[in-house]
Amino acid sequence: MNPGYAMLFEEVKLGPVMAPNRFYAVPHASGMTEANPRVRAAFRKTKAEGGWGVVSTGAVSTHPSSDDSPLPFARLWDENDIRSHALTTDAIHEHGSLAAIELWHGGAAVMNRTSRIPPYSPSGIPWQATHVGFMGQLRPRIMDKNDIKDVIQWQVDAAKRAQQAGFDIVYIYAGMGYLGYEFLLEEYNVRTDQYGGSVDNRTRFVRELIEATKDAVGETCAIALRISLEELRARKSEHYESQAHEVVSIMADLPDLWDVKMDSSPTDCGASRFKAEGSHEPVIDFVKKVTGKPVVGVGRFTSPDTMVSQIKRGILDFIGGARPSIADPFLPSKIKEGRELEIRECIGCNICISSWHDGVPIRCTQNPTVGEEWRKNWHPQIFEPAESDDQILIIGGGPAGLEAGLTAARRGYQVTIAERSSELGGRLNFEASLPGLNAWARIKDYRLYALKKMDNVSLYTESELSLENILELQHQRVVIATGARWTRALYSSLEIPLGALAGAEVYTPDDIAEGIIPQGKTLVYDFDNYYLGGVLAEHLAKLGSSVEYATPAGHASAWTIMTNEQPYVHQALYALGVAIHTQTLLTGFEQSSVSLANIFTGHTSAIDFNSVVLVGLRLPDNKLYDQNMDAKESVKSAGIKSVERIGDAIAAGALVHAVYSGHQYARNLDKANRTYLRDVPVVSNGPGLAI
């Protein structure tokens, strides 16, 4: 280990327990509820095995009045839940790490769609979400004194269950718009009793939660407070630098640990496109100056030098990791073993967050094994040995091809990767050069670094292979990873791609990637709805083009609401003077005039544009695969056992899909292709009341 990193592996005392090092896998959603207890336990276990000294759950409901369905959330309501969580604590303790549980009451920010209990809130003020997935029409109740006592008792009951389940650290949650936060913030809390008004009064509810939890389990469990400070830091205080300073000062020594964060998901988990490593520091940098208790915070930390700097400068005591601990559960071990160049660094794409919005177990672009540790027995560092001497020829060196090659090589197969262009990386070579996406180059950098050190790998560029070449090369397995191409298809009123837009000045992202810059005033028409349409509009505007953006959706890059990027996409386009047309169909382009129609009303308009860039339908490039299928007898005679497609060549998708596809291919080599193990809840008690 680099001796400069030794402080990252110092023990830190947290109340009655001792953390073995400064690496803290903070609470984050995983999409693994009580319906998937074994999936969840294996997921958290892998982090402990990888060296994270503390490993946390995501939000765990204390009572049915904190019901986030249909979004996935965990519970600790009864004996069944204790047994379910004990699977996780046992798995974490197996590797010497501490287990933390984020007890949580959602207050007015949950809709209680399943429990049908009116949401609890300090003053009856709802969270009026703009994300459809969070919207609901049941408004919250105003908590009376008995309600406050009930919520505190539910916290205590859950804390005792957490202790029974084996947790070492028990949280109180006062962040991200949930109930404790609602008491702290003036917009939510307009009470006139001892729980409202002054900052001191507004902290009372959180203080009572901490004190009651400490009284219940504090002799054996550390008590952590997770708190959002962004809004409070921006508000004036009569006697302190800000209300954040005042709140932390009032409760300075109550918890055993301060877990500090931002107020909303887009700022707390900002995508790398818009937020740099360590972006939280300007908001949370004061906390250690106010409290003598340890502090943990996050910032998408992947650099050990940055981690050491955070500790040396007195910003944090623990290096918190959510996304970095997903991308590489073995990040701490790699630093400890002097292998920091082998870290699979988080790219900040936030696909992990989108999977929670989708209500499914977590996914990661960099780490295709995440969520599959139990379901498919995929370990991020351990690979089953090859079961044959088959040589693997992979045609295409993009994300899917590189991942398939690396995984197959790690299993011991002889691997050849042939790429027709002058550089390995596929679509990443262009996309990582676009505004804000440079961190995405880590996908190819990590894989190429590993591949180039392996004796059983041959890498070739400028090698476009024909069917004849494939038949001559004497490989037993052929993998087609030739990617996909963007089309000029239009978007129809049926909300599907249809037809094509003709014209010399009609372009696709592939044209831009090849260096073509549209001339004159340009319209980027986007019904792909992910990042690329918005990024290309930024890119062209920064090159000096006059650009406007149109989409049939209600927002620019509409799907990026799932990855916390949508507010920043609009801000970026606005800053560059890019006009945005939403709910719009592009129906024609003739003589430098684009015909646009409202998707709902059919109202039409014509706007002058010299060029159009279509970002919509992408289809697999299957020419080479089809040739192989048409020559099955010749393929068989050449000793080729299989020809398979992976990544965009089989189904165009996001980078996460391409990497997963490549990984799955290599894991399944010479094996029966099963889907996955199906998890079931832990049930010892039969149906009955929730608590």
Catalytically active residues are: 178
Triad 663, 666, 669: Cα angle to 5°: 150
Q: Mapping DSSP to helix (H, G, I), strand (E, B) and coil, where does residue 540 land? A: helix
Q: Which of 560, 91, 23 minimizes the C-alpha distance to 324?
A: 23
Three-state secondary structure call for residue 371: coil
Q: How far apart are the first and last CA of the chain?
A: 49
Q: The tokens of 160 are what?
A: 């005792």
Q: Is the peptide bond before 122 cis (omega within 30 degrees of 0)?
A: no
The helix or strand, by DSSP H or E, that contains position 572, with its residue range, turns out to be helix 566-575
Give Cα separations from 198 to 189, 230, 374, 539, 602 (angstroms): 10, 19, 50, 48, 53
Structure tokens at 569: 């996409």
Neighbours of 246 (CB within 10 A): 22
Q: Which residues of 201-214 are buried (b: 16+ CB within 10 A; e: fewer)?
A: bbbbbbbbbbebbb
Residue type for position 689: L
Q: Which two tokens stand for residue 676?
A: 């996955």
DSSP-derived pairing of the beta strands 618-620 and 484-486:
antiparallel
Contacts of residue 255, Cβ cutoff 8 Å, sequence gap at least 6: 172, 210, 223, 224, 225, 293
Residue 408 three-state SS? helix
Nearest Cα to 622, choosing from 607, 641, 643, 642?
Answer: 643
